[in-house]
């Protein structure tokens, strides 16, 4: 079975609709979870967390990971094609699935070595 490529705007609109959140709230969730991931990744060491937090390469990588998971959910559940009414029960059920897939336990991922190297180079340049 082939995975359907779905444009980012359609994915985000569907996810926001089924999570019962605005575009701005979605962005805030992505950012806050990224900060939690940094704390987890660096054991809460503020200096390392801050350096990566200031890295545009890190945030590009993080957003890409998040977007891939959002697209996976759209493909799995077809929410991007659903134009029907979204009830509170739909939102609760989908949020449970969404939060589990995007929670810090599920996001124990690492950037590939070339990406991590780019992040670290950017951090060095930003904090001279």
The rounded distance, in Å, linking the Cα atoms of 14 and 58 is 25
Cβ burial, residue 71 (10 Å; 0-12/13-18/19+): buried
The rounded distance, in Å, linking the Cα atoms of 59 and 46 is 17
**pTM greater than 0.85:** yes
Per-residue confidence in pLDDT tens, the chain, 128 aa: 456 788 889 999 999 999 999 999 999 999 999 999 999 999 989 999 999 999 999 999 999 999 999 999 988 888 888 778 889 999 999 999 999 999 888 888 899 999 999 999 998 888 76
């Amino acid at each position: 079975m082939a995975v359907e490529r779905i444009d980012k705007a359609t994915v985000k609109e569907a996810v926001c609709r089924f999570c019962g959140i605005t575009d701005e709230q979605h962005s805030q969730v992505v950012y806050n979870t990224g900060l939690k991931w940094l704390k987890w990744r660096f054991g809460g060491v503020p200096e390392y967390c801050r350096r990566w937090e200031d890295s545009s390469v890190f945030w590009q990588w993080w957003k890409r990971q998040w977007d891939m998971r959002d697209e996976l959910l759209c493909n799995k559940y077809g929410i991007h094609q659903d134009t029907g009414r979204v009830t509170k029960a739909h939102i609760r059920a989908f949020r449970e699935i969404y939060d589990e897939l995007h929670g810090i336990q599920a996001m124990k991922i690492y950037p590939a070595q070339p990406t991590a190297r780019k992040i670290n180079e950017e951090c060095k340049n930003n904090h001279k």
